[in-house]
Amino acid sequence: MDKLVIRGGRPLHGEVAISGAKNAALPELCAALLTAEPVTLRNVPQLKDVSTMFALMRIMGVQADRTADGLVHLNAGPLHDPKAPYELVKTMRASVLVLGPLLARFGHAVVSLPGGCGIGSRPVDQHIKGLQAMGAEIVVEHGYMNAKIAAGKKRLRGAHITTDMVTVTGTENLMMAATLADGVTVLENAAQEPEVVDLAEMLIKMGAKIQGHGTHRIRIEGVDHLHGCEHQVVADRIEAGTFLCAVAATGGDVLLRFGRADHLDAVIDKLHTLGVHVDVVKDGMRVRSDGAASGELRAQSFRTTEYPGFPTDMQAQFMVLNCVAQGASKVTETIFENRFMHVNELVRLGARIQIDGKVAITEGPAALSGATVMATDLRASACLVIAGLMAEGQTDVERIYHLDRGYDQIEVKLRALGADIERVKA
């Protein structure tokens, strides 16, 4: 297994291009299943999860080709086997996003239950409940969801659905299914994330009738069929936020080209009060910081909540800043039940953190010293990289296959900004 070897203490300077969003590209690849016509996606990031979704598409018979510069051509016309096998779904939960499109277009689908992951049990009961409200019969057996449209019916039917909680992929799955349903579907308690909005905009280009995306109430009027389209994947706000935190930690001055500051308000607000400058500039944003070593950073308490609140996917990356900033702070994780796995690894680097249920209490400033640490999930891995960039000495981050799921060559991008970081093949 590869690892990253990092020697800390170097500020970051220069310019980095933010890639397309993993959490937009994955549902948008699935949206191509809704039509037999060609779909082209631009700015698709080169990630392990995207490769996994590609493999899933091809197994089902979809023509899927991509170029090195992020251009993807899909054609689900030849799709012959609407089945998502466990071997692939267990490696990437987002595979469940094929369920809605396959059911809507083919009337049946067999999709493995994703199972849990490191950060939580992550059930899909809301996806199932919503599709059943639209007339699907879903039998769960042998670890698979066997879904079909009720006998005698040709299409799903529009429904008024209120999910028990805000669910990002739940909203995406139901929105995609509703585009081809007979009648109007209203999703109450819908997720407002920018990736949901970007998916809706792609579906509208395909001929879907959607209103209210970006609010908690999305209205979809079903149509008979959808046509192909071309769509550019929105920039990845979590990759951008990760780089903002890296510069905040090490100090420096970096331009994040294509980064969308308007998708990171909650994080940027906290960075400002921490003592970091983030400015909107032409086609991106600029971050400047004196770094933790300056003693000028002031720890910030926050709670993760659904968009537009502070994103759970940025919780670990910001916690590192609290470890090295002045003062005490509390971080409350309200979305997932086990998203503090980075804490024990940060403590090994010298951080002072106590966990009390959903709250992590940090006492700063701590002087981090390099050590060998282990990545446990995608964003925890990013947090350990940021810690290594400022820890004294060498930090080896192991099990970075987690990192490769969601970051497009992060060590190459960081090295170009002046970091002393290299990937060592095991």
376 binds ligand EPZ (CB under 6 A): no
Question: Per CB under 6 A, which of residues 170..189 are in contact with ligand EPZ?
Answer: 170
CA nearest 19: which of 40, 49, 42, 39?
Answer: 42
Task: Single out the residue of 102, 168, 208, 325 in contact with ligand EPZ (rule: CB under 6 A).
Answer: 168
Question: Per CB under 6 A, which of residues 267..306 are in contact with ligand EPZ?
Answer: none
Terminal Cα distance for the chain, rounded: 5
Using the contact rule CB under 6 A, the part of the chain among 76-84, 162-170, 212-220, 251-259 near ligand EPZ is 162-170
Minimum CB separation from ligand EPZ for residue 215, in Å? 16
Shorter beta-carbon distance to ligand EPZ: residue 333 or 398: 333
Shorter beta-carbon distance to ligand EPZ: residue 126 or 289: 126
Please check whether residue 331 is in contact with residue 302, taking contact to mean a CB–CB distance below 8 angstroms.
yes
Shorter beta-carbon distance to ligand EPZ: residue 52 or 289: 52
Minimum CB separation from ligand EPZ for residue 117, in Å? 8
* Residue in this structure with the two tokens 């209205």, named with its chain if needed: 219
Beta partners for residue 63, in sequence order: 75
144 binds ligand EPZ (CB under 6 A): no
Name the catalytic one among 117, 229, 245, 323. Answer: 117
Mapped onto helix, strand or coil, the DSSP state of residue 421 is strand
Check if 30 is active-site: no
Rounded-to-integer distance, Cα 392 and Cα 389, Å: 9
Minimum CB separation from ligand EPZ for residue 279, in Å? 26
Q: Are strands 372-374 and 353-356 parallel, antiparallel or unpaired?
A: unpaired
402 DSSP 8-state letter: H
CA nearest 360: which of 382, 386, 338?
Answer: 338
Is omega for the bond preceding 308 within 30 degrees of 0, making it cis? yes
Q: What are phi and psi of 82, to 5 degrees?
A: -70, 65
Using the contact rule CB under 6 A, the part of the chain among 166-174, 248-256, 287-295, 381-389 near ligand EPZ is 166-174
234 DSSP 8-state letter: P
Using the contact rule CB under 6 A, the part of the chain among 123-131, 206-214, 275-283, 291-299 near ligand EPZ is 123-131
241 binds ligand EPZ (CB under 6 A): no
Rounded-to-integer distance, Cα 173 and Cα 101, Å: 7
Number of residues that bind ligand EPZ (CB under 6 A): 24
387 binds ligand EPZ (CB under 6 A): no
Rounded-to-integer distance, Cα 297 and Cα 295, Å: 6
Which helix (H) or strand (E) element contains residue 60? helix 48-60
Mapped onto helix, strand or coil, the DSSP state of residue 294 is helix
335 binds ligand EPZ (CB under 6 A): yes
126 binds ligand EPZ (CB under 6 A): yes
19 binds ligand EPZ (CB under 6 A): no
Shorter beta-carbon distance to ligand EPZ: residue 122 or 358: 122
Task: Single out the residue of 48, 105, 127, 260 in contact with ligand EPZ (rule: CB under 6 A).
Answer: 127
Please check whether residue 368 is in contact with residue 394, taking contact to mean a CB–CB distance below 8 angstroms.
no
Per-residue exposure over 54-86, b if at least 16 CB sit within 10 Å of its own CB, e if not: bbbbeebebebebeeebebebbbeebeebbbbb
122 binds ligand EPZ (CB under 6 A): yes
233 DSSP 8-state letter: P
167 binds ligand EPZ (CB under 6 A): yes
User: What six digits make up the tokens of 249?
Assistant: 């930690």
Shorter beta-carbon distance to ligand EPZ: residue 127 or 157: 127
140 binds ligand EPZ (CB under 6 A): no
**∠ at Cα 58 (54, 60), nearest 5°?**
120
Using the contact rule CB under 6 A, the part of the chain among 81-89, 120-128, 148-156, 276-284 near ligand EPZ is 120-128
**∠ at Cα 96 (76, 304), nearest 5°?**
130
378 binds ligand EPZ (CB under 6 A): yes
Using the contact rule CB under 6 A, the part of the chain among 167-175, 199-207, 225-233, 254-262 near ligand EPZ is 167-175
Minimum CB separation from ligand EPZ for residue 121, in Å? 6
94 binds ligand EPZ (CB under 6 A): yes
* Residues with Cβ within 8 Å of residue 330, at least 6 apart in sequence: 301, 359, 360, 361, 362
317 binds ligand EPZ (CB under 6 A): no
**Would you tell me which residues interact with ligand EPZ (CB under 6 A)?**
22-23, 26, 93-94, 120, 122-127, 165, 167-170, 312-313, 335-336, 378-379, 406
Just list the catalytic residues. 117
